[in-house]
Amino acid sequence: MSAITVEQMNKHVEAMRAKEAEYEEAQKVSTALKHEVDALYDQAGQMLLELGQESFRTPYGTLSLRKRRSFKVPRDEESRQAFFDELRERGVFDSMITVNSNTLNSFLKEEYELAESRGEDMVTYKFPGVEPPTVSVTASLRKA
């Protein structure tokens, strides 16, 4: 028979519940602070855009804009067919047919960068079968 009493077990479980509650409260505070930090980064990004600058050096670090393109997989049959036909024409169909979202985004990002370097009108450029990317601009801060 164990030397642990019912009272000891109850106190232990009570301590577990108290720590869980403390942890959950700390998570709420942490989440609220993270939202505040994110809002400050968003504001800093807007400030850089208003200044017309890609980066800004401060005594606290260098603030920079990061642009990220994100593509969606073709949804309807017609778009998928146009996309697959383009992959076949480029000779990459077999290596791209079972790609995941990250690989697709990487491939299309490169294609858009190539199109931009060729002088394509990026407002109207579209990879066959794929909707134009959404572009998100975020600020990053590197240490001084």
Predicted confidence at residue 1, as pLDDT, reads 64
Same structural domain, 71 and 129? yes
Rounded Cα distance, 58 and 54, in Å: 14
Same domain, 49 and 70: no
Q: Is the pTM above the cut of 0.85?
A: no
Cα dihedral 19→22→28→31 (10° resolution): -70
Enclosing domain of residue 35: 6-53
Chain mean position to CA 7: 49
Joined together, the tokens standing for residue 62 give: 């260098």
Closest by Cα among 68, 69, 88 to 131? 69
Q: Answer yes or no: do 69 and 47 share one domain.
A: no
Residue-wise pLDDT for 40-70, tens only, equals 999 999 999 999 999 999 999 999 998 888 8
Q: Are residues 45 and 71 in the same domain?
A: no
Q: Is 90 exceeded by the pLDDT of residue 35?
A: yes
pLDDT digits (tens, 9 = 90+) for 87-140: 899 898 888 877 777 888 888 888 888 988 999 887 788 888 888 888 788 888
- What pLDDT is stored for residue 103 in this prediction? 84
